[in-house]
Structure 1
Amino acid sequence: MGEKVFFGKGIRQIKMEDPELYESIENLDKNIWNAKVLDYRTQKLIAIAISATNNESSSFLKQVSKSKKELGISRDEMMDVLKVVLLTSGMIPFNHALEVVNKLYD
């Protein structure tokens, strides 16, 4: 697992203003990524699929870019993820996510 990165812009402020809340968020994050059955790579692919459905390209770009670099997620794996996005969330999120994947893998 790489360096801790929270994508919410307000988290930095929470860290300064409410260290106890920040610590709780950090502990929750550790517990989520420490699954008993699914490996970290599978969990990240699930997270990428969920991120793709939010139509927020910068967050999705960060997720895919980091996973590609740290975990070696392939374009074929990403396309499998996007097929699930297409089935469950429709053409608009699929197209937005596909644009990002094309930028990163082409």
Structure 2
Amino acid sequence: MSMTVEMAKIAIEGVILKTEKSIEREVAYQKELADDRAALSHVEQLQTDGEPLPTGNPYGSFSEWKEQIEKEIKISQNSLDRIEIEKAELMALKYFMENAPTTPET
């Protein structure tokens, strides 16, 4: 069975809602990224100052601690990059919804 424009629009409505919900998380990812960068800076400063690892720290070394924070930074940045793509996809989907020809009802 071939898909009609109306069928495509129905399917795309769900995709639009899902994409909009994903984009709503952008601010949270930005905050997380800023927090992680601040944490990395703090850890680097502790290391530079020759401070010992804090008591109860789950990492065996400053290097291990920094590696974990850098992984978290990369995850947040990847999420923000994905959201930029989703914004473009959302624009295209909305354009299709507004401009795709509909077949007249008979």
Same fold (TM over 0.5): no
Work out which structure has the larger RCO, using CA pairs closer than 8 Å and 6 or more positions apart in sequence. Answer: 2
Structure 1-normalised TM-score?
0.23
Structure 2-normalised TM-score?
0.23
